Structure 1
Amino acid sequence: MISKRIFLTGATGTAGRATLAALQEAGHDVVCFARSAVDLGGEVRVGDIGDAASLVRDGFRGEAFDAVISCIASRSGTPRDAWAVDHDANLSLLRAAREASVGQFVLLSAICVQKPLLEFQRAKLAFEAELIASGLTYSIVRPTAFFKSLSGQLDRVRAGKPFLVFGDGTLTACKPISDRDLGRYIAGCLEDAARHNAVLPIGGPGPAITPLDQVAALEAILGHEVRVKRVPVAMISAIRGGLRIAGRFSGKLAEKAELAGIGRYYATESMLVWDGARYDAEATPETGADTLFEFYAQVIGEGRSVALGDHSVF
């Protein structure tokens, strides 16, 4: 494999750190661009990704790079944050890359954009369109759920509390992917021509699992029954509806309505390939070897908690 010089953004996040590790493992020379001088085990340049001038001055510095990899994502998913980060910051990065004559751009997106009902999904799709039209060789990686996203209830279950499911617990399914497997897949986009100029939905090793499958796995790991509490989807819909009405008079409540909408989306939509009529587990590609239930067993066996950060979705 030929070593390449890579400009990486979002390296302080979960997926970004895993991507950095995979790039370094493959022998690439990586320059990370971040808001502060954090120790990532490689070169870090400090600047503001939302500032086009900072990207050029503090990031690229007139130097040559073979590819740019963007792992940035808005933290909250609210409209202002989503358009500022998922679209505008990525667009500034794309323009800086073109100015620096970079030939390849790999974008970490999300599988949920295939059925866009929320503002952060629209922001991601708008940038995807800009990237596709840019003339650069592109790879748009759309992963399914992360392990952390499905670990928000481990502590409550170990404390004897019930596992919360929406509806009957089988409304949604996904093929969870580990940070390590996702990072390696993203890094592999640099060399694999089959991943060039392509939109790439990707999951971890199958089969697809539902919330009730998670309950069964936890019972096997813990060695006792896990109680289940069913939450009506209508409840979260009613909460969102009330917040949307109140949001007409308050920007803060409008943001809360959007967050409730995000919660409802993940409670009712699967993170699998959408064919226009249904979610198709068989059509959802798989990569890697790490499984969610092995991750659960390791976390429980070590008696530790999962630092959820912005991934507290179940």
Structure 2
Amino acid sequence: MTTEPAPNQTLKPKRVLVLGATGTIGRATTNALVHLGYDVTCLVRPASDAGALAGVTLVQADVTDPATLERDAFGDPPYDAVVSCLASRTGAPQDAWAIDHQATVNAIDAARATGVQHFVLLSAICVQKPRLAFQHAKLTAEQALIASGLTYSIVRPTAYFKSLSGQIARVRAGKPYLLFGDGELTACTPISDRDLGAYMASCLTAPDRQNRILPIGGPGSALTPRAMGTHLFSLLDKPPIFKHVPVGMMRGIAGGLRMVSRVIPSLAAKAEFARIGLYYATESMLVLNEDTGHYDRDATASTGADTLFDYYADVINGKATVERGDHSVF
């Protein structure tokens, strides 16, 4: 368990630019930075809904245009740090390489050109075993940051609560909980937006989180999909009913779509989404032991106090809502 800095203490660096601030992780990170007393500026798209961002300065710029990014977002005096929560909306190859890679590299280059000292990058733990376009895009951006000469903190979170909450409504409606295989193929240590945001903010002052790649999960034991489903039924006071989806069927669908997309390019995005679903159905979101090839819960650091099951209870009781991404798997 890690200890986060107390609010209102004297902090350096002070001026921070946040990219991707309107996403759920971006908002949580921005709130943590404001709480800690930083002077925070958030870069937003012209059409973005930035109403939930309080206590910050807003600037508009296009992260895909290097010239306007440096001109409109990176001013004088320079920022002390940049915290990037940029992420592609869909994970489709074109979107991934435009945002997860190129827009991130644009921001790294602008930061270096304007005298920024520290760059905190939100990545993903799945890049340690890359098979998908967005994973390769994020990994290439990580490598660009490491080579930039900037002080860096590369944060690789495990699974998000929102990504593991898509079956609450179907179970509540009396439908079975879907499991891939036997439901024990994978495991993860989910982390809340709030705890991840606090961890991202703390990278600016924690020396042991600088010039490092930082896999991070939430508190508690690793959870399998079956354990998640079992607890969800318990919270809803329903007997557990599971429906098993054969992994072989998923492999066949993903492989078939990939072959067809070579002939019909318009199906490329659907083929990639099928591969994303297959990946998350068969790979754990934990640190990968490169020597054994197995995922290791003990090697996966944890932070915070929020648990997935507390979040499930809040959703069921109407205290929280599930903000799901464009390509949520569950």
- TM class by shorter-chain length? over 0.9
3-state secondary structure, aligned to 2:152: strand
Match of 2:167 among 130, 134, 153: 153
Match of 2:30 among 16, 20, 26: 20
Does the CA contact (< 8 Å) of 1:146 and 1:178 recur in 2?
A: yes
1:200 aligns with 2:210: no
1:40-51 mapped onto 2 (5 Å cutoff): 40-41=53-54, 42-51=56-65
Contact 1:151 1:312 in 2 (8 A): no
CA displacement at 1:10 relative to structure 2: 0.3
Identity within the alignment, %? 57
Moved more, 282-291 or 57-66: 57-66
CA distance change for structure 1 residues 305 and 23 in 2, over 3 Å: closer, same or farther?
closer
Are residues 159 and 290 of structure 1, via their aligned partners in 2, closer, same or farther at CA, if it must alter by over 3 Å?
Answer: same
Tell me the CA shift for residue 303 of structure 1. 7.5
Deviations 1:239-258 (A, max 9, x none): 11111111111222122111
Deviations 1:65-114 (A, max 9, x none): 10001000111111111111111000100110011100100000000000
Amino acid across the alignment from 2:295: Y
* SS of alignment partner, residue 236 of structure 1: helix
Name the amino acid aligned to 2:329: V
Q: Counterpart of 2:300?
A: 284
- Per-residue CA deviations over 1:247-286 (Å, capped at 9, x if unaligned) read 1112221221111101100010000000121000111100
Tell me the equivalent position of 2:184.
170
Q: Secondary structure at the match of 1:209?
A: coil
**Residue-by-residue CA offset, 1:271-310 (whole Å, 9 max, x unaligned):** 0000121000111100000000001011112286523133
Q: CA deviation at 1:62?
A: 3.0
What residue identity is the alignment partner of 2:120?
V
* Contact preservation (8 Å) 1:149, 1:311: no
Q: Is the 8 A contact 1:153 1:163 kept in 2?
A: yes
Distance in 1 (CA, whole Å) between partners of 2:171 and 2:284 is 23
Q: Report the Cα distance in structure 2 between the residues aligned to 1:108 and 1:270, rounded to whole angstroms.
A: 19
Partner of 2:15: 5
Structure 1 residue 263 corresponds to structure 2 residue 277: yes
- Secondary structure of the 1:30 match is strand
| C-alpha contact (below 8 Å) 1:204/1:290 kept by paired residues | yes
1:42-74 superposed Cα distances (whole Å, 9 cap, x missing partner) = 211011011111111211133321000100011
Structure 1 segments (4+ residues) deviating >3 Å: none
The letter for the 2-side match of 1:175 is T
**Could you tell me how far apart the structure 2 residues matched to 1:183 and 1:305 are?**
18
Gaps of 5+ in 2: 1-9
- Of 158-167 and 215-224, more deviation after overlay is shown by 215-224
| Residues matched between the structures, number | 314
1:231-246 maps to which residues of 2 (within 5 A)? 231-246=245-260
Q: Is the 8 A contact 2:89 2:325 kept in 1?
A: no
Which of residues 83, 87, 111 is equivalent to 1:73? 87
Taking the TM superposition and a 5 Å limit, the aligned residue runs for 1:49-68 are 49-68=63-82
8 A Cα contact 2:90 2:325, kept in partner: no
Q: 1:148·1:308 contact (CA, 8 Å) conserved in 2?
A: yes
| Structure 1 residue 311: Cα displacement | 6.1
CA contact (8 A) 1:82 1:120 kept: yes
Residue type of the alignment partner of 1:107: L
2:118 to 98, 101, 104: 104
> Which blocks of at least 5 consecutive residues in structure 1 are unaligned?
none
1:104-159 Cα deviation digits (max 9, x unpaired) = 00000000000011111111111111100111100000000000000000000000
Tell me: CA distance 1:105–1:257, structure 2 relative to 1, closer, same or farther (3 Å). Answer: same
